[in-house]
A = this chain, B = another copy of it.
C-alpha cells in the first residue's frame, strides 16, 4: 500500500508533545467510525463509559439529573461492531512512552474478553497510539497475548517493545476521511487469510 505522507515508521526528529492526546485517539477512531457508517462500509460504535448510578433527582418540569455516580471498570473493550459480515472487537490505547508499551495499560478482563472473541471466530486487536511519534498501530491480539502471557512469568518483561510494533503490528495510515484507515489494515491482516481459507 502506497502511503501519501512522509514515512512515519521513522520517529520524528523533534517529537511534539501534542496536547489532549488522551482525547485524540478516541476522537480519531470515533470520526473514522462515523465515516465508515455514513458510507456503508462498517457499523462500529464505541460503547458508553460504564457508570454505577447511585442517586438520581427528578426535578419538576425538567429531566432527571444523576447526582451521584461512579466510574466502573469496563468488563469488555471500547469498540465493537460488524465489517464485511465479520464481528470486530478492539480496544484503543494511548502510549506516551518512547521505547515500550506498558502492559499495565490493559485490564486483565479485556484480555480475557478478546481471547474469547477470537475463540468464537471474531476479529480482535488493539489500536495503540505512540504519541511521541504520532504513529497509530493495529496490534493483532495474538501478538499482544504472547507478551501478556510472558509478562505473567517471573522473568517476563512487562511491556511490548517499540521494535515489536515495527515488526509485528501494522501502521495505520492517516487521512482526512477517514482519519484512521484501520479497516484497510483489517482487510490486509484478517480478510485475505479468510478468503484464502475459503478457497481451500
A interface residues (Cβ-Cβ under 8 A, vs B): 37, 40, 42-43, 45, 47-51, 53, 63-72, 74-76, 80-87, 89, 113, 116-117, 119-122
- Chain B residues with CB under 8 Å of A84's CB are 120-121
Q: Decide: B69 and A120 in contact? CB cutoff 8 A.
A: no
In angstroms, how far is the closest chain B Cβ from the Cβ of A124? 10
From A83, which residue of chain B is reached at the shortest CB distance?
B120
Q: Decide: A63 and B70 in contact? CB cutoff 8 A.
A: yes
Q: Decide: A85 and B122 in contact? CB cutoff 8 A.
A: yes
From A66, which residue of chain B is reached at the shortest CB distance?
B69
Q: Decide: A51 and B69 in contact? CB cutoff 8 A.
A: yes
From A75, which residue of chain B is reached at the shortest CB distance?
B45
- Chain B residues with CB under 8 Å of A64's CB are 70-71
Q: List 25 A-B contacts (CB under 8 A).
A: A40-B119, A43-B117, A43-B120, A43-B122, A45-B76, A47-B48, A48-B48, A48-B49, A48-B51, A49-B51, A49-B53, A51-B53, A51-B69, A65-B69, A66-B68, A66-B69, A66-B70, A66-B71, A67-B67, A81-B87, A82-B89, A82-B120, A83-B120, A85-B87, A85-B121
Q: Decide: B48 and A82 in contact? CB cutoff 8 A.
A: no
Of all A-B residue pairs in the complex, the 8 with the closest CB atoms, nearest first, are: A85-B121, A48-B50, A66-B69, A87-B87, A82-B87, A48-B48, A82-B122, A82-B120
From A55, which residue of chain B is reached at the shortest CB distance?
B67
Q: How far is the CA of A37 from the CA of B40 in the complex (A)?
A: 30
Q: Decide: A86 and B83 in contact? CB cutoff 8 A.
A: no
Q: Decide: A37 and B116 in contact? CB cutoff 8 A.
A: yes
- Chain B residues with CB under 8 Å of A113's CB are 43
From A123, which residue of chain B is reached at the shortest CB distance?
B82
Q: Are A67 and B70 CB-contacts (below 8 A) given A75-B45, A82-B122, A87-B87?
A: no
Q: Among B43, B65, B74, B121, which residue has its beta carbon within 8 angstroms of that of A70? A: B65
